[in-house]
């Protein structure tokens, strides 16, 4: 057993969709979350900037004595190379491999769609991961930059005309390619789950990387005998790089519940990345 917390980070508040899944299936685990709200978004930035930010985020979580790191951000996950991964001092996972494994086991035709930020799609990380599992799979990527601001502005109702039109524009080309599985490769997209299902007429199975990653963490901790075994209720601690109040105000949208812990602002630029 290991009573240390799980460390989770994201470019901002979106990674709370992953915390939501972790808390659902691992309610006894303590969580330390870092949201880089002062430097969000990552998805529009260059690979080198995203890598630098990601290294600082990881170094911050390492300094909090976590037993595992979960890179909840699709964009940050997409820049984790073998070299960068080798520098991380504790076991870690991004969201890409767990989602790719789920997509490969669920696709019937081997045609998988991936949507994400511009940086995630540009990285080709999902394609590489999927083809390393099944080289016969065809992967069609599409960046959907308007989804993040739409979600952050609360336009997530399945009948919202603006978000529906946007989704049609992004998703119709993928449907024309005959995808039967669609990875929602950005923290914000699970909030559009019902809308996307409706727009594509349930023609593809939707994969929520947050859910798949939470299961991956559960398996990892169980297999390696690292689950927390204390009887006291789990504690969540949140750190952000911009206003704590602003984070608290939007958090429940992504978490679907109360934060259940304190929020503290830190100076992420002062952290020396790995
Ligand atoms: N968290 C990011 C992701 O999952 C979306 C927001 C951003 O661009 O930073 O890719």
User: Do residues 175 and 255 share a domain?
Assistant: no
User: Do residues 144 and 194 share a domain?
Assistant: yes
Helices (H), 147-242: 147-152, 161-176, 193-199, 209-223
Residue 274 has what pLDDT?
Answer: 62
- 273: pLDDT strictly greater than 80: no
User: Do residues 88 and 186 share a domain?
Assistant: no
Site residues for ligand 1, CB cut-off 6 Å = 10-12, 14, 40-43, 73-75, 116-117, 120, 148, 186-188
* Model confidence band, residue 156 (pLDDT cutoffs 50, 70, 90): very high
Range of the domain at 256: 6-94+211-270
pLDDT tens digits along 75-126: 999 999 999 999 999 999 999 999 999 999 999 999 999 999 999 999 999 9
User: Do residues 102 and 205 share a domain?
Assistant: yes
Does any domain span residue 22? Answer: yes
Q: Which of 209, 234, 251 is a domain's end point?
A: 209
How many other C-beta atoms lie within 10 A of the C-beta of residue 136?
A: 7
- 188: pLDDT strictly greater than 80: yes
User: Do residues 162 and 68 share a domain?
Assistant: no
Q: What spacing in Å lies between the alpha carbon of 27 and ligand 1's midpoint? A: 25
Q: What spacing in Å lies between the alpha carbon of 75 and ligand 1's midpoint? A: 6
Number of structural domains, the chain?
2
Instruction: Say how far apart CA 222 and CA 245 lie, in whole Å.
Output: 35
Residue 150 has what pLDDT?
Answer: 96
Does any domain span residue 252? Answer: yes
Q: Which residues contact 19 (CB under 8 A, 6 or more apart)?
A: 8, 31, 33, 72, 236, 255
Residue 3 has what pLDDT?
Answer: 96
Is 144 catalytic? The answer is no
Instruction: Say how far apart CA 116 and CA 148 lie, in whole Å.
Output: 10
How many other C-beta atoms lie within 10 A of the C-beta of residue 15?
A: 27
Residue 230 has what pLDDT?
Answer: 79
Q: Which of 158, 189, 209 is a domain's end point?
A: 209
Instruction: Say how far apart CA 53 and CA 102 lie, in whole Å.
Output: 28
- 179: pLDDT strictly greater than 90: yes
Q: How far apart are the first and last CA of the chain?
A: 27
Atom of ligand 1 nearest to the CA of 10: 1
Residue 4 has what pLDDT?
Answer: 97
Annotated catalytic residue: which of 104, 144, 186, 236? 186
Q: What spacing in Å lies between the alpha carbon of 43 and ligand 1's midpoint? A: 5
Is 186 catalytic? The answer is yes
Q: Which of 187, 209, 231 is a domain's end point?
A: 209
Does any domain span residue 1? Answer: no
Residue 256 has what pLDDT?
Answer: 85
User: Do residues 48 and 118 share a domain?
Assistant: no
Q: Which residues contact 133 (CB under 8 A, 6 or more apart)?
A: 100, 101, 104
Q: What spacing in Å lies between the alpha carbon of 68 and ligand 1's midpoint? A: 21
Does any domain span residue 23? Answer: yes
Rg (alpha carbons) of the chain, rounded to whole number: 18
* Residue to probe by mutation, ligand 1, list 10, 191, 250, most atoms within 8 Å of CB: 10
Please say whether the beta carbons of 187 and 193 come within 8 A: no
Does any domain span residue 28? Answer: yes
DSSP string, 16-42: HHHHHHHHHH-TT--EEEEE-TTT---
User: Do residues 110 and 199 share a domain?
Assistant: yes
- pTM tops 0.95, yes or no: yes
User: Do residues 215 and 90 share a domain?
Assistant: yes
User: Do residues 85 and 183 share a domain?
Assistant: no
User: Do residues 123 and 192 share a domain?
Assistant: yes
Does any domain span residue 230? Answer: yes
Average pLDDT score over residue span 163-172: 98
* Model confidence band, residue 257 (pLDDT cutoffs 50, 70, 90): confident
User: Do residues 63 and 141 share a domain?
Assistant: no
- Cis peptide leading into residue 85 (ω within 30°): no
Phi, psi of 184 (to 5 degrees): -85, 80
Residue 231 has what pLDDT?
Answer: 82
* Model confidence band, residue 253 (pLDDT cutoffs 50, 70, 90): confident
Average pLDDT score over residue span 198-214: 98
Does any domain span residue 89? Answer: yes
User: Do residues 57 and 159 share a domain?
Assistant: no
In the chain, % of residues over pLDDT 70: 100
Does any domain span residue 147? Answer: yes
Domain CATH for 256: 3.40.50.1860
Average pLDDT, the chain: 96
């Amino acid at each position: 057993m290991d009573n240390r917390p799980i460390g989770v980070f994201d470019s901002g508040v979106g990674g709370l969709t992953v915390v939501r899944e972790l808390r659902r299936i691992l309610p006894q685990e303590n969580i330390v979350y870092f949201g880089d709200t002062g430097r969000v978004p990552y998805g529009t930035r260059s690979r080198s900037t995203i890598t630098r930010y990601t290294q600082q985020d990881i170094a911050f979580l390492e300094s909090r004595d976590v037993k595992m790191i979960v890179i909840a951000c699709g964009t940050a996950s997409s820049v984790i190379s073998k070299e960068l991964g080798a520098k991380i001092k504790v076991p870690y996972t991004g969201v890409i491999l767990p989602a790719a494994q789920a997509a490969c086991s669920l696709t019937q035709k081997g045609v998988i769609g991936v949507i994400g930020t511009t940086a995630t799609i540009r990285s080709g990380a999902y394609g590489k991961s999927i083809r390393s599992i099944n080289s016969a799979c065809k992967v069609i990527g599409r960046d959907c930059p308007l989804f993040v601001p739409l979600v952050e502005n609360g336009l997530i109702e399945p009948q919202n005309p603006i978000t529906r039109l946007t989704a049609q524009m992004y998703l119709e080309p993928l449907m024309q390619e005959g995808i039967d599985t669609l990875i929602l490769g950005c923290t914000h997209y699970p909030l559009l789950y019902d809308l996307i299902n409706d727009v594509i007429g349930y023609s593809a199975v939707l994969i929520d990387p947050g859910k798949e990653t939470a299961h991956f963490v559960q398996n990892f901790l169980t297999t390696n005998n690292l689950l927390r075994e204390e009887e006291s209720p789990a504690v969540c601690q949140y750190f952000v790089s911009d206003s704590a109040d602003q984070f608290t105000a939007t958090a429940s949208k992504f978490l679907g519940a109360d934060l259940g812990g304190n929020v503290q602002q830190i100076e992420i630029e002062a952290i020396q990345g790995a």
